Chain A
Amino acid sequence: MNAIEARGIHKVFNPGTDEEVVALQDIDLQVASGEFLSLVGPSGCGKSTLMRLIADLLPQSSGELRVNGKAPAQARLDRDYGMVFQHATLYDWRSVSKNVQLPLEVMGYAKAERAKRAQAMLDMVELGDFVEHYPWQLSGGMQQRVSIARALVFEPSVLLMDEPFGALDEFTRERMNLELLRIWQATGTTVVFVTHSIAEAAFLSQRIVVMTPRPGRITRLVDNPLPYPRDFHTRSDPDFHALVAQLRDLLRDAHEDQP
């Protein structure tokens, strides 16, 4: 079964006014269960908007959207997806462990179960020794790992990540990429990953959706030939460079199409 199916999605902001913006036009997309898919494109191409439609944080203007075969609103109510934002969005007043337990509290899990799961998730993101710390005591990369643990702690079948490593430095980012692949392979979660980094999309995903702005649309779906597991050597692989070059050409061509 497909985790996500989009057919003829349109999204228009401020319709019928001077500020009318067509954010998404004619989006058709299927994401298979367990797949790692990236949405890549420049600012304004609608990649974040598409993610927010999937998460039912915004309604689409027209078209049909299914998450695990359900309407997005129902998928949200069923807690089918976990979400990671560019900003870690941790609650300052909660310890690391309590932050990870937040979704479990909302969903009514018992106390012992919450603590156990939070510990297991924090061990997985290698923050098992920081459960009693507060967010401000952690680095940006560690905070983002907490937010990934928080998104995965209730075992959602889909993980939506909106430029999660965009605010991190290059070294931390590459380490986080490896860690994310390890988590993805350990959990079998479907991952939809929004990024404006071509290299990041090429390194992580099985398929890459190239999007272009004004109006936001899908230019091309690119299959990634690189095998898993991927590691630091992947970035020196000629196939990796060829893929990055291909993606860059696609994005540049699309830009030159603009009037």
Chain B
Amino acid sequence: MTRLRHYLPTIAVAVTVLLAWELLVVAFDIQQFLLPKPSAIFAEFAYQLGLWLAPDERSILFESSGATFWEAIGGFVIGCGSGVLVALITSRWTIISEATMPFAIAANSVPIIAFAPIMNNWFGITNPASKMAIVAIIVFFPTMINTVRGLTLVDARQLELMRSYAAAPSEVLLKLRIPNALPYIFSALRVASALSLIGAVVAEFFGGPRATLGVYITQEASAFDFAKAWTAIMMASIIGIAFYLAVLFLERRLMPWHVSFRVE
């Protein structure tokens, strides 16, 4: 009951916005290629869901969503995994991390999505690896930068405590630096979860297999079937939010002690 009350304002806002949207489209007679009604989008979604669930039918929308989801996940795992790994290696030697950090920070400000056509040339336009590569590069830099920060910005007193125990560097890494870096890593992963889906969809705008969300959206939009395009956008949003929540769930499981999750 208290949970419901907690979410009630959010639900009320969502319902109000959808109702207003529906009424505005009807009242001003807005053409469906400018802005379809939410009811039309939900109807298309229900139709596609029916196709997907039927044993002898195909839903291109759901196949596209699955393909884009795997591109995003694959790139996320490769990019974030190597980001953490490279951070662990560079932070072991202060000289290396100090020498590489300016480049990492500079690279983080580059619009990496501009490399999408290059990746299409390298890996092949229909090969999911070309999209994963873009996603991996996009999420690599924020993950690496944040991890290096978490590993190096350690309270001086906590380091002195370890020194007083004559702890080996590996012990300091395992028992102090890595736990200290976890909140930094997770804040990077949360950003990366959103970035990876954006990266995958936008990379697909530059070309890809038929059954991917980016290609689906561009094709349906150019065919003026905007209810379909909007349904695909909704699918991308659902996947993005689910991905973000999954990271948040993992974060709560791994760091129940963290200040943001404390309940008295």
Interface residues of chain A, those whose CB is within 8 Å of chain B, are 55, 57, 76-77, 79, 81-83, 85, 87, 89, 91-94, 102-103, 105-107, 134, 136
Contact = CB atoms under 8 A, between A and B. Distances in A.
B164 interface: yes
Given A87-B157, A106-B171, A106-B175, A93 B164 contact: no
B163 A93 contact: no
A79 B166 contact: yes
B257 A93 contact: yes
B29 interface: no
Contact of B262 (A57, A83, A94, A136): A136
Given A77-B166, A93-B255, A136-B262, A57 B175 contact: no
Given A92-B258, A93-B179, A93-B182, A79 B165 contact: yes
Given A57-B160, A83-B161, A87-B157, A136 B259 contact: yes
Interface in B161-180: 161-167, 171, 175-176, 179
Contact of B164 (A76, A87, A92, A105): A76
A94 B164 CA distance: 19
A89 B255 contact: no
Interface of B: 155, 157-158, 160-167, 171, 175-176, 179, 182, 255, 257-259, 262
Main secondary structure of the interface of B (DSSP, over half): helix
Nearest to A87: B157
Contacts of B171: 105-106
Contacts of A57: 160, 163-164
Nearest to A89: B157
Given A82-B164, A136-B262, 16 more contacts: A57-B164, A76-B163, A76-B164, A79-B165, A79-B166, A83-B160, A87-B157, A89-B155, A89-B157, A91-B176, A92-B259, A93-B179, A103-B165, A106-B165, A106-B167, A136-B257
A82 to B, nearest CB: 8
A222 B203 CA distance: 77
A55 B259 CA distance: 32
B257 A92 contact: yes
A148 B155 CA distance: 19
